[in-house]
């Protein structure tokens, strides 16, 4: 039987590559990397988000790729109050939170907001 040990990357379909890259770099401190000469990715830790341009997606791709269909939960270090303050300083509207949630590793506090394509981004901090 197959034994999955982790998640390497996810893919987001985006309308405006530059705007998306700027948002994830500025707000979430991700590194923009171009690989194989023309593919865009956002790196953080040992994972990445590959970016596909809307209506010019790379093969293979999701059955019906569209901007705004992503829903990501990202784990941050520190406390959720620090995350809320950072979002406020960047004028990023918080849609929900902080709220208690249960993640893969147990209890956490989360805050939700949207990226430029309206994908739902959850940033969570585990409760020690």
CATH number of residue 103's parent domain: 3.10.180.10
Using CA atoms, how far apart are residues 100 and 109, in angstroms rounded to an integer? Answer: 5
Q: What is the pLDDT of residue 123?
A: 97
Report which secondary-structure segment, H or E, holds 50. strand 47-53
Segment holding 28, helix H or strand E: helix 17-28
Residue 128: predicted pLDDT: 81
For residue 48, being part of any structural domain is answered with yes
Catalytic position from the list 57, 77, 86, 122: 122
Q: What is the pLDDT of residue 89?
A: 97
In a domain, 2, yes or no: no
Question: What confidence tens digit (pLDDT) does each residue in 1-10 have?
Answer: 999 898 999 9
| CB-based contact 13:57 (threshold 8 Å) | yes
Question: Domain total for the chain?
Answer: 1
| Owning domain of residue 102 | 9-126
At 85 the three-state DSSP class reads helix
Question: What tens digit of pLDDT does each residue of 55-108 get?
Answer: 999 999 999 999 999 999 999 999 999 999 999 999 999 999 999 999 999 999
Q: What is the pLDDT of residue 84?
A: 97
The values of phi and psi at residue 13, to 5°, are -95, 125
Q: Is the pLDDT of residue 115 over 90?
A: yes
Measuring CA to CA, how many Å separate 86 from each of 52, 78, 91, 109, 117? 28, 12, 9, 15, 20
Burial (CB count within 10 angstroms: exposed 0-12, middle 13-18, buried 19+), residue 42: buried
Determine if the pTM surpasses 0.85: yes
Tell me if 4 is assigned to some domain: no
Q: Check if 95 is active-site.
A: no
| Inter-residue contact 18 to 25 (CB < 8 Å) | no
Q: What is the mean pLDDT of residues 13-34?
A: 98
Residues 24-41 pLDDT 10s: 999 999 999 999 999 999
- 3 within a domain of the structure (yes/no): no
Distance CA 70, CA 66 (A): 9
In this predicted structure, what is the pLDDT of residue 11?
97
């Amino acid at each position: 039987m197959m034994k999955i040990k982790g998640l390497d990357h996810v893919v987001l379909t985006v309308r405006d590559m530059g705007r998306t890259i700027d948002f994830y770099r500025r707000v979430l401190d991700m590194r923009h990397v171009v690989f194989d000469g023309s593919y865009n990715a956002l790196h953080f830790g040992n994972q990445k988000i590959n970016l596909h341009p809307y209506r010019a997606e790379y093969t293979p791709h999701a059955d019906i790729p569209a901007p705004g269909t992503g829903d990501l939960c990202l784990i941050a270090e520190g406390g959720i109050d620090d995350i809320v303050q950072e979002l406020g300083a960047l004028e990023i509207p918080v849609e929900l939170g902080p709220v208690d949630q249960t993640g893969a590793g147990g209890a956490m506090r989360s805050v939700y907001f949207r990226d430029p394509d309206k994908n739902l981004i959850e940033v969570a901090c585990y409760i020690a």
